[in-house]
Amino acid sequence: MNGHLISFEDMKQTVKEKLIVERLELEDVTAADIGDEMPLFGEGLGLDSVEAFEVMVGLEAVFGVMVEGIPAERLREHLTNVTSIARFVEASLREQADRLAETGHP
């Protein structure tokens, strides 16, 4: 998936559908139930710490964002809500694309 070709709205929708509902196998929750600014962890959607790690893995599996080098605590700051995740994905993909353009290596 190329982050540059999809709109921010589409990105948020993909976060909801692929990264949250499908990846976490949420049974009674659909993408429509998740607000852009709804807190994901603890309150709001009520995800827990084990699920946070699944979302981190999902960033790579769904969007191709490499998160291995980023400490969990820093990463977690980006996982507040759908908007913050989408912003993080967008920035990360842009950064990766720039690096690729500079060096020829991802």
Partner 1 sequence: MTSRRVAATGTASRRVAVTGMGILCALGETFPDVLAGMREGRTGIGPVRRFPTTRLHSGIGAELRMEAAKAYFTREQREKYDLCARYAIVAADQALRDSGLKEHSAKGLVMGAALGTCNGGILSLEEQWTVTELDERRTARYPFYQQGDDVANHLGLNGPVTTIHTACAASGNAIGFAYDMIRWGYADAMLAGGSDPLSHAVYAGFNVLRALSPVPASPFASRLGLSLGEGAAFVMMEPLDRALRRGATIYAEICGYGLSNDAYHETAPDPEGRGIQTAVRMALRQSGTRASQIDYVNAHGTGTQANDQAEIKGLRSVFGDRLQNIPLSSSKAYFGHTLGAAAAIEWTTSLYAIRHGLLPATLHYDEPRAGCEGLRIIANRMTEGRPAYFLNNNSAFGGHNASIVARTGPTEPDGDPHPETIGTGRERRIGIVGIGAVLGGEVRQGSVSGEDVSVPLPMEEKPGACAFSLKSFDPGLYERRMNRLSQFSIGAVKSALADAGWEERSGMAEGRDIGFIYGTARGSTDSIGKFLHSVFENGPELASSIYFPHTVVNSVAGKTAEKLALGGFSSSLSSGGAEGIIAAAYACGSIRSGVHDRFVIAAGEERSGLTERIDRAKRLTDSAHPPLEGSVGLALADIDDALRAGRPVLAELSGFGMAYGGEPGSPRAIDALTRAVEDAIAQAGAAPERIDAVLLDSPGRPGESAALFKAIRERFAGRDMPLISVNEQYGYGESLSSMLLLGIAAERVKPGAMKRVLAVSVSVNGNTAAAVVSEAAPTSLKEEIV
Residues that bind partner 1 (CB under 8 A): 24-28, 49-51, 53-54, 57, 60-61, 68, 72
Helix crossing, 49-63 with 82-103: angle to 10°?
40
> How near is the Cβ of 96 to partner 1 at its closest, in Å?
16
Nearer to partner 1, 7 or 69 (CB): 69
> How near is the Cβ of 12 to partner 1 at its closest, in Å?
22
Q: What's the CA gap between 43 and 62, in Å, rounded?
A: 25
> How near is the Cβ of 55 to partner 1 at its closest, in Å?
9
Radius of gyration of the chain (CA): 14
First CA to last CA distance, the chain: 15
Nearer to partner 1, 51 or 81 (CB): 51
Nearer to partner 1, 41 or 83 (CB): 41
> How near is the Cβ of 31 to partner 1 at its closest, in Å?
16
Q: Where are the alpha helices (DSSP H) in 1-106?
A: 8-14, 49-63, 72-77, 82-103
